[in-house]
Structure 1
């Protein structure tokens, strides 16, 4: 008999502290049971990391599982680990039967992240117990303050528990009492306590590592070597002997004997961490000197090999020289080394180490998964100082478990306000895919209903996402033309109307609250037009509503019997809603394969999951860059560069970033549509983000970005393999924006300053409704059909000037390094007008070396308008309004669409002024001529 097998005669069971698929499938585990008398197996995150990340036998199973059902690293790990645990349990089942349930166990640990969460530990232990479904499983639970009540509860439910991370004798005694109390509870419920087993894993070598370091430091400092030297390597075994003494005392007496009469087993002490850390010590030290009855020693493979080769079995070694053990620990205390402090710190350090090992494990799983799934490639180039700061932030997020807290809905990740109420976007992709049949049926109804046009009426988050999908996917063969209206400009409404065959048009009215002004008056207009076209009885068959449950729009849709009604999710804000019904209903109507779209998007959701460490999490990494670059390096302008086919992403990103982060005088300013220039055109306030569709690349654009990166600007490059992967970018940037908001220190889910302009607009439209006169301010200057308006504070700051060029020059000269210029145009949104404003913005950028933004009103009010009013006071704004060539009334109201647009412009400017923004207005008598004159004046101003 080899020494390992002789341990049984001394009352000790040898267990293996290692598990790997090859060990089981190759028959080595069975060999060890027969040859060595092996009685059990333990595992931990570090063991699984080595196995899953590095052992070749996991490759095929890993690939098969991910390809069949891609999911987050945690689910992949559990799938593989549970299979191993079940296989090991089955291999050890004969031992379990032969020992009457005393041995033959395999351990599986609850997530180390739950070490300080009692209820979380209980819930996970129950789940893992059910998932493995083997009687010889032990669930490992740490002996933290939160773990002990969980141990009591779980034993009381009949689960077998391996209590881990025990260092201190008092904590062990509390664990033993929790075990006994749990057995009593289980017996009181009629449970068979003979089926419950437990071990208390008391850690050994780590104590010597810490105390030896302290002793050696005193020796090196000139302390009494004659006293200190003999204490080296003695503390751990002495501490274990005292724990064993407590064990013999606790599991004795009448109370315990009453449980024994019902079949109860003692909770054996299991010596853990028995691999020698100091090479000067015998490699079998923590086995030979801790042999005792009713104990277990779980050995790593190297220690087991050593003991098999040259170990010596000394019966009851752990009970020898107890007085000497007390003397050792007393002598250590006399040298100023507190065993209580050491063991307390070791528990905390053990929790941290296990969590770090779990992070490493999940990171390794994430890395292997990335090679098997198609996720949009991303590369971040940043100067060394920014890259270092981002890495520091990622390390902090990993150590503090912030990604997990974010997914768990911890509002303290942000400001501790109502953020937890707005996280429905995190798991919406899976929810929508589970019910995708509803969308498929709707799509079929659109096509079979003979509709050749679909027109969406919405604003902000209800319209920008569908617009991206329409422009990126293009018209699908055999499906309707898609149109989107998000303006109150009369010309724009008429332009849409001319494109439609009303008799064959389905209108999608999209509004979360149902009370938003613009969709409601658009609905009023097209309702009237459809009544003219289809009649009072049939008009509503041409309308679909997408809105939150209980909204006023839902009531209208039900009362008027709209053809379709879809509900959003109240816990998803508008700008985060594109992957919910607000984006998917229009997507289905335009013929996009919504099921495939959601599956592809789910790959990014899994890549950004709670179980993906921050440094490997694509959404978190991007958000840490954006937030850190802004707060620590002043780079708060996010310049969005896209390839032509997916250019619509820029406007969607503008809203997401600006409305989410621009508040409380802080935030990111997104810059979309600004053509790239040479490095000299930019200050040090930019981060560049390029999104490119493969096959749609622009070599000139790539060269300019390379030059910018070389000049020290952070550049993010994201490549989409296929347009159907655009949903991945929706989720990546939603996550990134939420993370950036946490870094900036704001609530990324509210929009307090959007409402401010709505209030002023409402006051004006209410006045129009009542027929009350609305006073118009006088301009401070007129020239060639252009009038300049400025409030007293801005007028005083600018002084008096005799030309439009001079007014504009002095206004825009107020934009300095770190500022930006915003052109806010309340005119028809056409390509021609875009081109004119693009020429103006580039002229201003190159002249002032600042970022430039262009927004068409009232569209931008539900987007960048939040950042302009609530973000940093670094904007210099020029509002552009114009007379409407042809206006018309809103049905059912006394005001017109032109008046609504004017009221919105007035409300917008009023709030900018109230927030002490540098803002003036130019009013054009005629749009095209006025824009030409404006461009001419700016060219002259900065010639």
Structure 2
């Protein structure tokens, strides 16, 4: 169980960076947890953020506790596992469960339609894992409150249906203990995006049916290689990431290759974007593109594909990518363990909700309306319709820049359109794509050689949101929001999910425009018709 990194045409520059790292003793120092590797300013943070190096062993201490939770859930017939968590608390379990082909419902959203769909699905057989490192994540707190009320309304004691994963001493630990919820404590010396092999990754995955011992075994098998100067896959991959960034190729096209792993690029996206996107620097991961189209882009595949590829089992991949990201941080000169700009959008959201009180949120006045789509923002040239706006956005992307699409919508809504019936798989897939706003990424990507990213809001705020605000000043942003027709109350709070979702969108938009980033918001007054219209206009550009 090893990870093989196959180098493409960049072998010379990569080997120069790797040789320098070896000469400086970095591989052994990182494997030993030396917090001085990223400079004196980063050392205090690094000192409390290197616990991930030991997780293949230290996380085994959690296994008896996890086994008891699994046994209890099976005995009580709780086979619908819902994970309420954001960013590092949800991305790894989603990949693990998809790879092991076990069902897990992930709530990393404030979209009321998506939450209601989960809420009305087999409540009598539902077990909710509430996962938050800080214990104060607003989305996760909202999910907990909503499920508590739903369980009580159904005559179910929430203490029999909620499991909490958090850091020691967090406010969530205290409230969970008071409520009588089982609590599994994670390693506090591991940051959220490095937490795949902590309780945050293992507890929900095991409850869903994944073999988490196997993950730890896979990581342990590759761990010994990470102290070596040769045959070290983490060093090889980190040298690739760092060397490419130094030579101006800072757009990493991540491709799911021919491997048994499903969806790993989505997890890598958060790890790399949030770790490196700061101080005007960074590596931008791009998920979904087929190939690099300009000289600032390169492709890395998951699996045994040609070119630059990373092949190996999932547990080993987690550890190797984490190690490589830490290496890349040293090469490009940033602290890979902090996230200085993530809190800004959260603070904006809180301010918007407080200032609005019971009144309308400051959504602004539409620049124009094209069918079921309202356009907000400053678009020069007197645009007449949605096509003009999309065309301007594509042209506004600077040389070496990128376009980011951010959709604050229900990411499962398209499945409602692709109903199972007499249609073939190909027909169903086509129907689904035609109803999925994420299809916009491919449509716009086809019309530019600049990279186009796509993120579901507010999920991406815990991921690429750091890069958007802290990375290079070359992004153009398209935000998509939608009318809410079936809102969900948040018990004990003065807002609904729909109101929170819009406040989060407006808060992040403000953080972007305050930096002079070109940004447009499209609001779908009818979500289904709006997505259909948006995609049809993009197809005709």
The verdict on a shared fold, with TM-score over 0.5 as the criterion, is: yes
Work out the CA distance in 2 between the residues paired with 1:716 and 1:445: 44
Partners in 2 of 1:454 and 1:656 — Cα distance? 25
- Quote the offset at 1:406 in angstroms: 2.3
C-alpha distance in 1 between matches for 2:190 and 2:528: 40
Q: Distance in 2 between matches of 1:461 and 1:804?
A: 35
Correspondences of 1:328-347 after superposition (within 5 Å): none
Residue 216 of structure 2 corresponds to residue 589 of structure 1? no
User: Aligned partners of 1:522 and 1:737: how far apart in 2?
Assistant: 31
CA spacing shift, 1:568–1:599, aligned 2, 3 Å: same
SS of 2:491's equivalent in the other structure is coil
Matches within 5 A, 1:832-911: 832=414, 835=433, 836-911=436-511
The Cα shift of 1:432 comes to 1.3
1:363-762 equivalence runs, <5 A:
374-381=1-8, 383=9, 386-416=10-40, 417=42, 418-475=45-102, 481-499=103-121, 501-535=122-156, 538-562=157-181, 564-608=182-226, 610=227, 612-613=228-229, 615-643=230-258, 646-674=261-289, 676=290, 682-692=293-303, 715-720=307-312, 725-762=313-350
**Which residue is 2:385 aligned to?**
803
Decide whether aligned partners of structure 1 residues 896 and 622 sit closer, same or farther in structure 2, where only a CA change above 3 A counts: same
Counterparts in 2 of 1:766 and 1:578: CA distance versus 1, 3 Å = same
TM-score (norm 2): 0.92
Q: Contact 1:689/1:716 (CA < 8 Å) preserved in 2?
A: yes
Cα RMSD over matched residues?
A: 2.0
> Offset at 1:401?
0.6
Whole-angstrom distance in 2 between the partners of 1:465 and 1:531: 30
Deviations 1:191-218 (A, max 9, x none): xxxxxxxxxxxxxxxxxxxxxxxxxxxx
Residue 870 of structure 1 and its aligned partner are, at CA, apart by 1.0
Q: Tell me the distance in 2 between the aligned counterparts of 1:893 and 1:644.
A: 45
Q: Deviations over 1:667-707 (max 9, x none)?
A: 01111123x25x7xx00122211113x8xxxxxxx6xxx5x
1:660: Cα distance to partner?
0.8
Q: CA deviation at 1:838?
A: 4.6
Contact 1:689 1:717 (8 Å CA) reproduced: yes
The answer as to whether partners of 1:471 and 1:645 remain within 8 angstroms in 2 is no
Distance 2:439 2:211 in 1: 38
CA distance in 2, matches of 1:638, 1:807: 26
Contact 2:256 2:263 in 1 (8 A): no
Measure how far apart 1:645 and its partner are.
Answer: 5.7
Matched, 1:828 2:430: no
| Paired residue secondary structure (2:510) | helix
Per-residue CA deviations over 1:263-305 (Å, capped at 9, x if unaligned) read xxxxxxxxxxxxxxxxxxxxxxxxxxxxxxxxxxxxxxxxxxx
The alignment partner of 1:572 has SS state of coil
Task: After superposition, give the CA deviation of every residue in 1:879-917 in whole Å (9 maximum; x if it has no partner).
Answer: 011101211221112211000000000011111111221
Deviation of the 1:506 alpha carbon: 1.2
* Contact 2:166-2:184 at 8 Å conserved across structures: yes
Give how far 1:442 is off: 2.4
Compare the two structures and name the one with the higher helix fraction. Answer: 1
CA contact (8 A) 1:816 1:848 kept: no
1:863-883: CA deviation from partner (whole Å, max 9, x where unpaired): 111111111122211101110
Which string of whole-angstrom CA distances, capped at 9 and with x for unpartnered residues, describes residues 133-157 of structure 1?
A: xxxxxxxxxxxxxxxxxxxxxxxxx
1:440 shift after superposition: 2.1
- Structure 1: unaligned runs, 5 residues or longer: 1-373, 476-480, 695-701, 707-714
Deviation for aligned residue 1:390: 1.4
Structure 1 position 753, deviation (Å): 1.1
Relative to structure 1, the CA distance from residue 393 to residue 584 in structure 2 (aligned partners, 3 Å threshold; closer, same or farther) is same
Contact 2:251 2:286 in 1 (8 A): no
Question: Structure 1 residues 845, 594: CA separation in 2 closer, same or farther (over 3 Å shift)?
Answer: closer
**What is the SS of the residue equivalent to 1:884?**
coil
Give the ranges of 4+ consecutive aligned residues of structure 1 lying more than 4 Å apart after TM superposition: none
Structure 1 residues 839 and 483, CA, compared in 2 at 3 Å: closer, same or farther? closer
The CA distance in 2 between the partners of 1:773 and 1:828, in whole Å, is 22
Structure 2, unpaired ranges of 5+: 416-431
SS at match of 1:813: helix
Q: Any conservation in 2 of the 1:780–1:788 contact (CA below 8 Å)?
A: yes
- Provide the C-alpha distance between the structure 2 equivalents of 1:424 and 1:598, rounded to a whole number of angstroms: 15
**Alpha-carbon distance in 1 for matches of 2:119, 2:488:** 13
Shift of 1:448: 2.0
Offset from partner CA, 1:350-375 (integer Å, 9 cap, x none): xxxxxxxxxxxxxxxxxxxxxxxx21
CA, structure 1 residues 593+934, in 2 after alignment: closer, same or farther (shift >3 Å)?
closer
Number of aligned residues: 520
Deviations along 1:149-189, one digit per CA (max 9) or x if unpaired, are: xxxxxxxxxxxxxxxxxxxxxxxxxxxxxxxxxxxxxxxxx
Contact 1:826 1:857 in 2 (8 A): yes
1:844 deviates by: 2.0
Cα distance 1:565–1:494, how it changes in 2: closer, same or farther (>3 A)? same
In 1, the alpha carbon distance for the partners of 2:260 and 2:411 equals 19
| Contact 1:433/1:599 (<8 A) preserved | no
Match of 2:419 in 1: none
What SS class does the counterpart of residue 110 from structure 2 fall into?
Answer: coil
Report the Cα distance in structure 2 between the residues aligned to 1:735 and 1:534, rounded to whole angstroms: 47
- In structure 2, C-alpha distance between the alignment counterparts of 1:606 and 1:566, rounded to whole Å: 28
Kept in 1: contact 2:116–2:488 (CA 8 A): no
Alpha-carbon displacement from aligned partner over 1:623-663 (angstroms, at most 9, x marks no partner): 11111101223343333334486332121111111111111
For residues 529 and 752 of structure 1, do their structure 2 counterparts lie closer, same or farther at Cα, with a shift above 3 Å needed? same
SS at match of 1:528: helix
- Using the alignment, how far apart are the partners of 1:913 and 1:548 within structure 2? 34
Distance 2:209 2:256 in 1: 27
Question: Aligned-pair distance for 1:414?
Answer: 1.5
Which structure has more RCO (C-alpha within 8 Å, separation ≥ 6)? 2
* Counterpart Cα distance in 2 of 1:397 and 1:560: 50
Contact 1:879/1:922 (<8 A) preserved: yes
- TM-score when scaled to structure 1? 0.53
1:935 paired to 2:541: no
Structure 2 contact 275–335 (Cα < 8 Å) conserved: yes
What is the deviation of 1:528?
0.2
Would the aligned equivalents of 1:439 and 1:594 in 2 still touch at CA under 8 Å?
Answer: no
User: Residues of 2 paired with 1:642 and 1:784: CA distance?
Assistant: 39
Q: 1:746 aligns to what SS in structure 2?
A: coil
Shift of residue 540, structure 1, vs aligned partner? 1.4
For 1:439 and 1:394, the matched residues in 2 are separated by 39
8 Å Cα contact 2:259-2:302 kept in structure 1: no
- On the 8 A contact 1:881/1:924 being kept in 2, the answer is yes
Q: Give yes or no for contact 1:883–1:927 (8 Å, CA) kept in 2.
A: yes
Tell me the equivalent position of 2:425: none
Larger C-alpha radius of gyration, 1 or 2? Answer: 1
Per the TM alignment, residue 399 of structure 1 is displaced from its structure 2 partner at its CA by 1.3
